[in-house]
Every structure is written in structure tokens, then in C-alpha cells.
């Protein structure tokens, strides 16, 4: 047995078999989907939910008949303002990206936990449809009581974040201004020399 495995030709065949098996398994598509939702307050009793779903094919082959369905938005809680909660595409090439977005209007106040969207697709080497799921969204606190933001809060945050850079830039600009502009004494001497 040792002479068979010790043979360099047999070792090369075993390595070639393992590499080809790994390459064949890596030839399949690999679908990743990311679902994002953001809230926009329109007024005190209306809030809009913007949903965006990105589908990535990180595999090495094209998928066909890609279908996205996001039924996690109940009709008694949300009205569709623009777009659709489902969409279909003919194909998604290897390394490609598909995006879909829609907007909803919230009807009631409260926490909402959305489920992942379902993506189905067809791979040419398999008979049955394949299925993938998007990432779930973080819980949304719809029409929540939020404290009013002070008008100078944005300036305070900006100054806290970039205060040191602003001071350095202003010192450099002041130095350049002082060097570049002539003083009154040198301006008076220059005018006397011209006479």
C-alpha cells in the first residue's frame, strides 16, 4: 500500500482529483441579498418607509429567472406609495448586481420586525428552482416619539467632529493672509519711492 501512495504519479493524480473537485464545486452561483429600510418623517402623524434590496451573484456562473418577493409588509400596517414588493429579472450574470426599491406609508405607530425577502432563481445545471433569503431589517420604530432637535445641534456635532482640522486650516489661512498682504508702513514707503 505504501508503494502505491508513495508513487509520485499516484500523488499527482490524487492532487489533480482534489483540485478538480474543488473547482467544480466553486463553479456554482452564490447569491447574496441585502435588504435595507429607512424611515422619513413627513409630519407628526405620517412616516414613509423606503426599502431597498440589493442582490449580488458572487459565484462563477449566471443565474436565470431571478424573482424577488418581499411579503413582510402587511397591508393593514402599510400602503404602497411607489414601486412593488415583488420584481422579476431575466438573468443575473456572475459578479453582477440587481437592485430594487419601493416606498411605503406607515398607517400605525409601533415597532415593526420585517422578515427577509425571498429570492428564487434557476441554475442551468439543476432542475428545481433555487431559493435565497435577504438579510432581515433591523426593527423599525414607526411614528415614535422623538425629541425635537435643537437648531444648533448640527453645528455642535460638526465642530466636535472637525474642530481640530478647522482650527489648523484657519491658522494656516491667517498666516498666508498676513504674509501676502502688505502692511501700511511698507505701502507708504513704496509710494514715497515712486515720487
Q: What is the mean pLDDT of residues 141-163?
A: 76
**Within-domain flag for 20:** no
Q: What is the pLDDT of residue 104?
A: 95
Report pLDDT digits (tens) over 24-80.
Answer: 455 788 999 999 999 998 887 889 999 999 999 998 899 999 999 999 999 999 999
Domains contained in the chain, number = 2
Looking at the structure, do residues 79 and 156 belong to the same domain, yes or no?
A: no
Looking at the structure, do residues 52 and 115 belong to the same domain, yes or no?
A: yes
- Is residue 151 predicted with pLDDT exceeding 80? no
Separation CA 102–CA 173 (nearest Å):
47
Helices (H), 28-152: none
Looking at the structure, do residues 169 and 95 belong to the same domain, yes or no?
A: no
Looking at the structure, do residues 134 and 44 belong to the same domain, yes or no?
A: yes
**Within-domain flag for 160:** yes
Looking at the structure, do residues 36 and 132 belong to the same domain, yes or no?
A: yes
- List of E strands, 110-172: 110-112, 118-122, 130-133, 140-142
Q: What is the mean pLDDT of residues 11-16?
A: 66
CATH number for position 96? 2.60.40.10
Looking at the structure, do residues 122 and 170 belong to the same domain, yes or no?
A: no
Max Cα–Cα distance, the chain, nearest Å: 111
Average pLDDT over all residues of the chain = 84
Q: What is the pLDDT of residue 150?
A: 67
**H or E element at residue 92:** strand 86-92
**Within-domain flag for 92:** yes
Under the banding of pLDDT at 50, 70 and 90, the label for residue 1 is very low
- Residue where one domain finishes, among candidates 142, 168, 189: 142
Q: What is the pLDDT of residue 162?
A: 85
- The closest alpha carbon to 130, from 31, 47, 21, 34, belongs to 31
**Within-domain flag for 36:** yes
- Is residue 147 predicted with pLDDT exceeding 70? no
Report pLDDT digits (tens) over 111-142.
Answer: 999 899 999 999 988 889 999 999 999 999 98
Domain hosting 128: range is: 26-142
**Within-domain flag for 126:** yes
Looking at the structure, do residues 117 and 48 belong to the same domain, yes or no?
A: yes
155-171 in b/e burial notation, b at 16+ Cβ within 10 A?
A: eeeeeeeeeeeeeeeee
Report, in this order, helix, strand and coil percent for the chain, each rounded to 5.
30, 35, 35
**Within-domain flag for 102:** yes
Separation CA 185–CA 190 (nearest Å):
9
**Within-domain flag for 138:** yes
Looking at the structure, do residues 42 and 138 belong to the same domain, yes or no?
A: yes
Looking at the structure, do residues 124 and 161 belong to the same domain, yes or no?
A: no
Separation CA 55–CA 33 (nearest Å):
4
Looking at the structure, do residues 39 and 122 belong to the same domain, yes or no?
A: yes
Q: How many CB atoms lie within 10 A of CB 57?
A: 22
Q: What is the mean pLDDT of residues 96-101?
A: 96
Looking at the structure, do residues 118 and 131 belong to the same domain, yes or no?
A: yes
Instruction: Give this prediction's pTM.
Output: 0.63
Looking at the structure, do residues 57 and 138 belong to the same domain, yes or no?
A: yes
Amino acid at each position: 500500500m505504501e508503494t502505491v501512495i508513495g508513487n509520485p504519479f499516484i500523488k499527482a493524480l490524487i492532487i489533480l482529483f482534489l483540485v478538480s473537485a474543488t473547482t467544480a464545486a466553486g463553479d456554482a452561483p452564490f447569491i447574496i441579498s441585502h435588504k435595507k429600510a429607512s424611515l422619513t418623517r413627513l409630519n407628526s402623524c405620517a412616516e414613509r418607509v423606503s426599502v431597498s434590496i440589493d442582490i449580488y451573484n458572487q459565484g462563477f456562473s449566471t443565474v436565470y429567472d431571478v424573482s424577488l418577493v418581499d411579503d413582510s409588509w402587511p397591508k393593514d400596517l402599510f400602503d404602497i406609495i411607489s414601486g412593488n414588493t415583488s420584481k422579476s429579472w431575466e438573468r443575473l450574470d456572475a459578479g453582477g448586481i440587481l437592485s430594487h426599491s419601493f416606498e411605503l406609508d406607515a398607517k400605525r405607530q409601533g415597532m415593526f420586525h420585517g422578515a427577509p425577502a425571498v429570492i428564487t432563481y434557476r441554475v442551468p445545471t439543476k432542475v428545481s428552482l433555487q431559493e435565497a433569503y435577504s438579510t432581515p431589517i433591523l426593527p423599525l420604530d414607526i411614528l415614535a416619539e422623538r425629541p425635537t432637535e435643537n437648531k444648533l445641534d448640527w453645528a455642535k456635532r460638526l465642530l466636535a467632529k472637525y474642530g481640530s482640522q478647522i482650527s489648523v486650516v484657519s491658522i494656516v489661512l491667517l498666516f498666508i493672509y498676513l504674509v501676502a498682504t502688505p502692511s501700511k508702513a511698507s505701502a507708504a514707503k513704496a509710494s514715497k519711492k515712486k515720487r
